[in-house]
A and B are shown apart, each in its own frame.
Chain A
Amino acid sequence: MMKTYLSFFRIRFTRSLQYRAAAFAGILTQFAWGGMLILLFRAFYESNPQAFPMPFSSLATYVWLQQALLTLLSPWAYNKDIMDSIQSGTIAYELCRPVDCYAMWYVKNLAERLSKVCLRGLPILVVAAFSSLAVTDSRCPCRRTFIFFFIIVSVILGNTVVISLNMLLFTHGILHHINAGNANAFCNVTDFLCGRHFFRCRFFPAGVLGSYSSTFPSPPCRTRHFCSSHRVYLP
């Protein structure tokens, strides 16, 4: 059975590699988007650094990690083929395969997300890691290893939750024949509630969504030193 699931990964990777221009455009888009976010937040930092729950360097790290792992942790980056097949009726073929449909769709989703992360996310992580040489971190190596370990664990758990939410969407799609608008609404709500945007909530008017931002408490500020204050920071 493992061979079956691995072959979903293989064909998904093969498919992703088929379109080199799309992969390249994806990488560029995420670099541009991450860069814009950091520039935007730098402007806010310059006006009021206390408004943020973390130092600017940590925010830069967070933005680049978010960009690199975007397709693993975003509810909206689900496998569109499955939803299309539900709406077009091609789902009939999927239902006459001798495999568990839930497991097959779960793996298809994971394969889609992992293939995108490998093609688009890894280059971002590599560039961000090299750029981080410009930043000195005062934390001891064992503490950094500890943090790294928890990032990995939280990414895996986050991915599990996000794909499970997608499975709810597909199940709902089969039962009620929902359209793209419903799917987008579902994804936007779950994306907002998954906590990826907690630092943006600091800028909401007082009293609006206060409970949302308090769900994600501010981490204690740590000291970091930058080699320049006028560059786009990478972690």
Chain B
Amino acid sequence: MICAEHLSKTFKVARRNSGLGEAVKSLFKKEYTLIHALDDVSFTVPDGEIVGYIGPNGAGKSSTIKILSGILVPDSGTCTVNGCIPWKQRKEYVKTIGVVFGQRTQLWWDVPVADSFDLLKNIYDVDDGLYRKNLADLTELLDLGDLLTLPVRSLSLGQRMRCEIAASLLHRPDVLFLDEPTIGLDAVSKLAVRKFIKTINEEKKTTVLLTTHDMNDIEALARRIILIGKGHILMDTSFETFISRAGACSTDQCGADTSASGDKRLEELTASLYTSLGI
């Protein structure tokens, strides 16, 4: 169970105008601006649910994931995941969660994937028998067979992402945070990743919080959507309600485009909703 209550987080960022003069001036006097990444964010996710956490770039999705995984400490508010406060009981807590950051890698670049997996096994102190079983399951579900003996640098993005997801699940976590896991993947890899997420949710009852810009991921996986914009939760509703509200906004703005294909339609509807909400 994930329970976030009134989370707020502000970042202090240096700011200056372009030009050499401004660069020299900033050497002596730096100007800062405050960015409110999260402002009073509250939601609850029951065990075994897949929730799509969406919003435009810079909305605060990744900041929320980082707070929920114990990496960042919020300025105010609190949250509990499986009864733990992530940043206070970090070491015990992170054993129970898995995190995938789609734009980063947790695997050692130069060595075979299996070596990185072995290291993670020791870091998470996974029992030998359980590790072998988990690895066999993940290898089968994500079709990793031949990839384990290859150095990470020689893998394609799709292959690497499958290995990244497997790496985050070797210790069999109860909760999985996925931060843009399908970014940059081809259609086949996206389908494989989606199928895998659905399978582990159904079979292992893993709770999944998924952030993505690909609405097809959401359509395929999540029955519930939380929409965040400029640090505020703007909508917490079912996928169907989200689409009907987006459809209404789209009709208001430019009339429904009935000829658009499914993928395009979803993207256009989402964009219309973002525009109407001013985010």
Q: Contact residues of A with B, CB < 8 Å?
A: 3-4, 6-8, 10-11, 14-15, 18-19, 88-90, 92-93, 95-100
A99 to B91, Cβ gap below 8 A? yes
Contacts of B101 in A (CB 8 A): 90, 92-93
B71 to A92, Cβ gap below 8 A? yes
- Dominant SS at the A interface? helix
A14 to B115, Cβ gap below 8 A? yes
Contact of B122 among A4, A90, A93 (CB under 8 A): A4
Nearest CB of A to B125, in Å: 7
A18 to B91, Cβ gap below 8 A? no
Nearest A residue to B151, CB-CB? A18
Q: Supply 22 A–B pairs (Cβ within 8 Å), ascending by A.
A: A4-B122, A4-B123, A4-B125, A7-B119, A11-B108, A11-B111, A11-B116, A14-B115, A15-B110, A88-B104, A90-B104, A90-B106, A92-B69, A92-B104, A93-B105, A95-B90, A96-B71, A97-B94, A98-B92, A98-B123, A99-B91, A99-B123
Roughly how many angstroms separate A216 CA and B88 CA in the complex, as a whole number? Answer: 46
- What 4 pairs across the A-B complex have the smallest Cβ distances? A7-B122, A93-B106, A95-B71, A90-B104
**Is residue B22 contacting chain A, with contact meaning CB distance below 8 A?**
no
Contacts of B116 in A (CB 8 A): 11
**Is residue B97 contacting chain A, with contact meaning CB distance below 8 A?**
yes
**Is residue B70 contacting chain A, with contact meaning CB distance below 8 A?**
yes
Roughly how many angstroms separate A89 CA and B71 CA in the complex, as a whole number? Answer: 11
- Dominant SS at the B interface? mixed
Roughly how many angstroms separate A6 CA and B104 CA in the complex, as a whole number? Answer: 25
**Is residue B124 contacting chain A, with contact meaning CB distance below 8 A?**
yes
Roughly how many angstroms separate A15 CA and B152 CA in the complex, as a whole number? Answer: 12
Contacts of A92 in B (CB 8 A): 66, 69, 71, 99, 101, 104
Nearest CB of A to B277, in Å: 28
Contact of B105 among A4, A8, A11, A90 (CB under 8 A): A90
Nearest A residue to B70, CB-CB? A96
**Is residue B118 contacting chain A, with contact meaning CB distance below 8 A?**
yes
Roughly how many angstroms separate A7 CA and B123 CA in the complex, as a whole number? Answer: 8
B104 to A89, Cβ gap below 8 A? yes
Contacts of B115 in A (CB 8 A): 11, 14
B123 to A93, Cβ gap below 8 A? no
**Is residue B195 contacting chain A, with contact meaning CB distance below 8 A?**
no
Roughly how many angstroms separate A36 CA and B110 CA in the complex, as a whole number? Answer: 33
Contacts of B97 in A (CB 8 A): 96
**Is residue B198 contacting chain A, with contact meaning CB distance below 8 A?**
no
Contact of A8 among B91, B111, B119 (CB under 8 A): B119
B104 to A96, Cβ gap below 8 A? no
**Is residue B95 contacting chain A, with contact meaning CB distance below 8 A?**
yes
Contact of A3 among B90, B94, B111, B122 (CB under 8 A): B122
Nearest B residue to A99, CB-CB? B123
